Amino acid sequence: MGVRIIGAATAAILLSSPSSFALAQSAGATTQRAEFEVASVKLHIADDQRTMMVAQPGGRFVAVNIPLRQIIRTAYQLQDDQIAGGPDWLDTDRFDVEARAAGMPGAPGIELLAMLQSLLAERFKLTTHPEMRELPVFALERVRRDGGLGAGLRPTVCPEIAIDFSQPKPCANISSGFGSLTLRGMPIAQFTQYLAPYVNRVVIDRTNLEARYDIDLKWAPEQQAPAAGPASGLSTADRDRPSLFTAVQEQLGLKLEPAKGTVEVLVIDTIAHPTPN
């Protein structure tokens, strides 16, 4: 079964510390670039307007009817306002991409993101540079003055282990679905990386919580699930869930406060329509 690239406001492969990895990759060239073995890139011209973006075990990546901006932010693990510059067609033209890596066992990971970045550089002539800019963010803060937390945020019983998020273990486990996010043995600073795609802003940690936690968060999505059908397909119980912002407060004892923050931004220097297959 494929692993869906998920998110509420943005589709992304959710990985450990994505933004730092992605922009570091763009800032300097590596001696040996990771590349897909085969890749097809086409402008989407079919009448079918359904969209899909999925990463599969073994290093296969498929996007159907996807704007290029969405593919870029997936490759670099960013939010919309972290991508600056570029022509209008980044949002209007849609593309079909099918790419396959050679000899990549297991679930999709950071290597696949590096290959996707290489594909953008080769086929779309994408060049970029990072900049620090002040942007709207959400600050994750505690609600209760006494320091109390919600039932969905509990100190983990997992032992102290070296966490490798590319190979999930029972005590370093992340699972997500349409309107749900479950994490085990997770530092709060890391949790913000997984929460950010659902609010389409960078989330900064101001909780001062330094332990690792088991986190269970469920909410009623406000829009269509990426590649998973409309929200009307939810059960009655699911539709009765609170909004994401209310769920964070009620279930975790935390809150998302609008704020300003200095954020690393990917600036597009050059980009072009794709070269033929």
CA distance 19 to 82: 10
What pLDDT shows up at residue 237? 60
Mean pLDDT in residue range 171-175: 67
Mean pLDDT in residue range 151-168: 71
Better-scored residue on pLDDT, 58 or 249? 249
Q: Where are the domains of the chain?
A: 3-131+266-270, 134-262
125 φ, ψ to 5°?
55, 40
CA distance 209 to 155: 10
Better-scored residue on pLDDT, 35 or 228? 35
pLDDT 10s digits, 189-245 = 889 988 998 898 999 999 999 999 999 999 998 754 443 334 445 566 666 889 999
What strands, in cross-sheet order, belong to the sheet with 254-270? Answer: 83-84, 254-270, 127-142, 203-205
pLDDT > 70: percent of the chain: 75
Mean pLDDT in residue range 48-56: 86
Specify the DSSP class assigned to residue 77: T
DSSP strand pairing (212-218 vs 153-155): antiparallel
CA distance 5 to 53: 6
What pLDDT shows up at residue 6? 32
Cα–chain center distance at 247? 20
CA distance 167 to 51: 28
Mean of the per-residue pLDDT values for the chain? 80
What pLDDT shows up at residue 34? 85
220 φ, ψ to 5°?
-95, 110
What band does 82 get if pLDDT is binned at 50, 70 and 90? very high
CA distance 26 to 266: 8
Q: Look up the pTM and report it.
A: 0.71
CA distance 8 to 164: 25
CA distance 194 to 189: 10
Cα atoms in the 13 Å half-sphere on the side-chain side of 152: 18
CA distance 56 to 1: 7
